[in-house]
């Protein structure tokens, strides 16, 4: 799926760099952890105030602010590998308008993965997918990780139906609940750990076959059920007889999480480079254009050194004239994917 942020027939008015990904040149780039998980916390009993933001890097800080009984999702996100958790405190008995206000408040804050504090209604899930998509068109890129309740976790068809409904490049739908120290957690509750795992995994690595620190899943799926779930774009946790692991890092559009993170990295990082160093600061002439092109090449070449991509090309777009205050660039490269399927041919004598 392409990220369309500018239309040649209706060019944007605001100063900025507008990235237009096309299917043949979608950036499959990885290169550094994107570590912030955003969580709207349902309840709190500590020092925190309602409808406020708090950045949490340690469990102890969350304990003081929100109370021991209210921080499981924050603990999961940190345990998954998030650098930090950006918490928004929801009002008691939050209504649909409160959820809208919360999401709009998050739009003004930087984060990489959004996840709820446990279960929310199907309407709120749908609204969040639509919100994520809208933000993407407005140049704010993040993942949404979600799951279901205990009943849904026992029926793989219900979980898969969620994936089919969302069918979104950057929405991850966990359909497997887990057991930790004798306590069951629904997929919606454990989604916070997956959010932390996505945020904390280096961007040139996949979460496929990542081991998760649980004792078991609440429902072990048969091989045929696992295959069907993957075909539907569901994220499945599997007990392999020894440990529980992520079967494959997929989004609900059946895209690889690694690849979507790469696309988001390009859209975010190249824009930041241009905004910090070039927009409004250099002339739009040959020298200025080459300075911008070389900066983007340097970014991509850094990723190439880290075995993320190869065959880099950054040029002025030959189909559109760069003049006035507008610069059009054509960027292409070949991604390096993770090795996830190994086929053996064994000949015996």
List, in order of start, the domains of the chain with CATH numbers.
Answer: 36-258 (3.40.50.11780), 264-335 (no CATH)
Using one digit for the tens of pLDDT, what is the confidence trace for 262-273? 778 777 877 777
pLDDT, residue 292, reads 84
Structure tokens at 209: 């076959």
pLDDT, residue 172, reads 98
- Whole-angstrom CA distances from 80 to 173, 182, 258, 288, 335 are 16, 20, 16, 43, 26
Lowest mean pLDDT among 30-44, 149-163, 235-249: 30-44
Predicted confidence band of residue 27 (pLDDT cuts 50, 70, 90):
very low
CA dihedral of residues 289, 294, 297, 302 (deg, nearest 10): -150
Instruction: Flag whether pLDDT at 340 surpasses 90.
Output: no
Instruction: Flag whether pLDDT at 30 surpasses 90.
Output: no
Predicted confidence band of residue 14 (pLDDT cuts 50, 70, 90):
low
Query: Distance (Å, rounded) from C-alpha 125 to C-alpha 338?
Result: 30
Residue 302 backbone phi and psi in degrees, to 5 = -60, -40
Using one digit for the tens of pLDDT, what is the confidence trace for 94-133? 999 999 999 999 999 999 999 999 999 999 999 999 999 9
Q: Which residue has the higher pLDDT, 137 or 156?
A: 156
pTM for this model (two decimals): 0.87
pLDDT, residue 98, reads 98
pLDDT, residue 315, reads 93
Residue 211 backbone phi and psi in degrees, to 5 = -80, 135
- SS3 (DSSP) at 45: coil
Residue 321 backbone phi and psi in degrees, to 5 = -80, 130
Instruction: Flag whether pLDDT at 23 surpasses 50.
Output: no
Instruction: Flag whether pLDDT at 274 surpasses 70.
Output: yes
- Return the exposure string of 232-257: e unless at least 16 CB atoms fall within 10 Å of the residue's CB, then b: bbbbbbbbeeeebbbbbbbbbeebbb
Average pLDDT over residues 185-210: 94
Predicted confidence band of residue 299 (pLDDT cuts 50, 70, 90):
confident
Average pLDDT, the chain: 87
Instruction: Flag whether pLDDT at 215 surpasses 70.
Output: yes
CA dihedral of residues 202, 58, 142, 248 (deg, nearest 10): 50
Instruction: Flag whether pLDDT at 7 surpasses 70.
Output: no
Instruction: Flag whether pLDDT at 252 surpasses 70.
Output: yes
pLDDT, residue 36, reads 94
Pairing state of beta strands 211-212 and 183-185?
Answer: unpaired
Structure tokens at 55: 């950045």
Instruction: Flag whether pLDDT at 63 surpasses 90.
Output: yes
Average pLDDT over residues 4-21: 59
Q: Which residue has the higher pLDDT, 231 or 292?
A: 231
> In 3D, which of 88, 66, 140, 80 has the Cα closest to residue 110?
140
């Amino acid at each position: 799926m392409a990220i369309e942020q500018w239309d040649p027939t209706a060019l944007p008015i605001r100063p900025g760099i507008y990235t237009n990904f096309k299917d043949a040149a979608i950036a499959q780039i990885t290169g550094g952890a994107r570590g912030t998980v955003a969580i709207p916390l349902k309840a709190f009993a500590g020092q925190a105030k309602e409808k406020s933001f708090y950045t949490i890097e340690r469990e102890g800080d969350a304990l003081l602010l929100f109370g021991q009984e209210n921080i499981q999702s924050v603990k999961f996100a940190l345990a998954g590998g998030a650098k930090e958790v950006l918490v928004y405190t929801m009002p008691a008995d939050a209504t649909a308008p409160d959820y809208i206000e919360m999401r709009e408040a998050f739009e003004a804050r930087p984060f990489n993965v959004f996840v709820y504090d446990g279960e929310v209604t199907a309407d709120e899930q749908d609204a969040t997918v639509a919100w994520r998509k809208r933000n993407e068109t407005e140049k704010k890129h993040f993942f949404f990780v979600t799951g279901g309740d205990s009943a849904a976790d026992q029926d793989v068809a219900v979980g898969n139906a969620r994936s089919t409904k969302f069918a979104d490049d950057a929405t991850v739908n966990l359909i497997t609940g887990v057991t930790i120290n004798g306590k069951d957690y629904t997929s919606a509750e454990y989604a916070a750990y997956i959010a932390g795992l996505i945020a904390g995994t280096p961007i040139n690595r996949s979460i496929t076959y990542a081991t998760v620190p649980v004792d078991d899943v609440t429902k072990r799926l048969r091989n045929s059920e696992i295959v069907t779930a993957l075909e539907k774009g569901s994220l499945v946790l599997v007990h392999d007889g020894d440990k529980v692991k992520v079967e494959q890092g997929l989004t609900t559009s059946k895209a690889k999480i690694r690849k979507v993170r790469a696309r988001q990295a390009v859209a975010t990082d190249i824009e930041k480079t241009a905004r910090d160093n070039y927009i409004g600061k250099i002339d739009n002439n040959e020298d200025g254009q080459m300075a911008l092109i070389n900066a983007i090449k340097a970014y991509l070449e850094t990723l190439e050194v880290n075995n993320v991509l190869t065959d880099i090309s950054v040029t002025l777009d030959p189909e559109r004239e760069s003049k006035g205050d507008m610069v059009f660039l054509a960027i292409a490269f070949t991604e390096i994917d993770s090795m996830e399927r190994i086929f053996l041919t064994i000949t015996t004598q």
